[in-house]
Amino acid sequence: MGRLLKFITILVVCIINLKTIANAQTEVDERAMINFENGLGFNAPDGSFGINLRFRVQNRLGFTSLSGKDLSIDEVDARIRRLRLRFDGFAFSENITYNLQLSFSRSDIEWDWDYEETPNVIRDAMVYYSFSDNFYIGFGQGKLPGNRQRINSSGQLQFTDRSMVNARFNIDRDFGVMGYYSNHISGLHYNIKTAVSTGEGRNVIPSGDGGFAYTGRVELLPLGRFSGNGDFSEGDLEREPAPKLSVAGGYSFNHKASRTLGQRGSPLYQSRDIKSRFLDAVIKYRGWAALGEYSDRNADDPLTVSPSGAEYSHVVTGYGINMQLSYIFRNNLEIAGRYTYINPENITDDGFDGNQVLISDPITEEYTLGVTRYIINHKLKVQGNLGYRITENLTPASSPGSNWILHFQVELGI
């Protein structure tokens, strides 16, 4: 009992001590959280080093119907969707911070791609240096400043997962140097985010082709900053007393990309220059929240051919639109609706044998109704989604199809 009381006393003292030396970050950025308002925090006796431990888990049960009319179960989705362990802190100075994040569930480590032979557990490994409260840089592997929903943590979602538009067009993580600047002019707040990275994606051996990826994003907040960084947290849990709006645009050029989705996907037979564009906006007011996103990807010559000419691989091109609208009641029960549309590019080529090759991905629409009960904000919540998906292939011989998708998910984190 004596040892237990001693341990609890030391733990409480450490946490209180960390709060007294914390750097209060109020700007929307990707720096490590060193104020220890979340998770479990410790620091060295001399105050030269601090670490904050957090975890989260998403347990999911889902069903997909055989078709829109036949409600027989075609697929069952029962799994740990995400299991993350995160470490944040500072080293020697509050200007030097770090963020490490590991993933452990199979769906979170990219074992689905053919070239992956080992688990890809490393998601983030970034070291940041802050020149001021408004300007800092990061070096290592982390999220690129692409579309809003991808920058937003998967632990801050109002549906059980991000949209299909994000799944197809996001540029995810990469290794490189990233810079962030925030300020305001006459009441107009803005954020500028940039990155120069390898273009190969997370924790992947560089191809050595000499190509790099260049990414930039600008966010404008004409009505002031959101409460609690709410522009990157879905749903208006803060119940903004005055309207808040953020409008953003981003662009990424991946020179000599080696994968079908740029920083993600399966290998291409030849490298390609890939261009991605993003436009998005979010508005919140008194429990109402609306999100809109547009994303596209294109390449001058998306089709690549194997040396034998028998196999093809192509850059996934096209565009997508995602829109979400929600309202949260006083009892923290939220009702949300989402509409998603994806229009892929039709790719043709004459081929070596003189026959035209047609690569067609389905045009997809999805309508989703979501219900979330927030028990402790996004840290502990229970979610249910019902979606109706319509697919229409580009090939003339194909016929449209549809199915129902039902998800139930519990998320717990600190």
Average pLDDT over residues 226-251: 96
Query: What is the per-residue pLDDT for 350?
Result: 63
Average pLDDT over residues 318-333: 98
Is the predicted pLDDT of residue 212 greater than 70, yes or no? Answer: yes
Is the predicted pLDDT of residue 400 greater than 80, yes or no? Answer: no
For 116-155, give the secondary structure using H, E and C: CCCCCCEEEEEEEEECCCCEEEEEEEEECCCCHHHHCCHH
Average pLDDT over residues 170-188: 96
Question: In this structure, what token pair is assigned to residue 10?
Answer: 């030391």
Residue 286: pLDDT band with limits 50, 70, 90: very high
Better-predicted residue by pLDDT, 113 or 138: 138
Lowest-confidence range among 8-22, 51-65, 138-152, 290-304?
8-22
Q: Which residues of 159-196 are buried (b: 16+ CB within 10 A; e: fewer)?
A: bbbbbbbbbbbbbbbbbbebbbbbeeeeeebbbebbbe
Better-predicted residue by pLDDT, 109 or 76: 76
Query: What is the per-residue pLDDT for 303?
Result: 92
Is the predicted pLDDT of residue 19 greater than 50, yes or no? Answer: no
Is the predicted pLDDT of residue 292 greater than 60, yes or no? Answer: yes
Q: Considering the chain, what percentage of its residues have pLDDT values greater than 90?
A: 71
Is the predicted pLDDT of residue 76 greater than 80, yes or no? Answer: yes
Is the predicted pLDDT of residue 382 greater than 50, yes or no? Answer: yes
Query: What is the per-residue pLDDT for 9?
Result: 44
- Could you give all domains of the chain from N- to C-terminal order, each with its CATH number? 7-413 (2.40.160.10)
Is the predicted pLDDT of residue 35 greater than 80, yes or no? Answer: no
Residue 119: pLDDT band with limits 50, 70, 90: confident
Query: What is the per-residue pLDDT for 24?
Result: 35
Q: Considering the chain, what percentage of its residues have pLDDT values greater than 70?
A: 83
Closest CA to 279 of 222, 223, 319: 319
Is the predicted pLDDT of residue 217 greater than 90, yes or no? Answer: yes
Query: What is the per-residue pLDDT for 17?
Result: 41
Helix (H) or strand (E) holding 83: strand 73-91
Question: In this structure, what token pair is assigned to residue 178?
Answer: 């990233």
Question: In this structure, what token pair is assigned to residue 316?
Answer: 């996934």
In 3-state terms, what secondary structure has residue 108?
helix
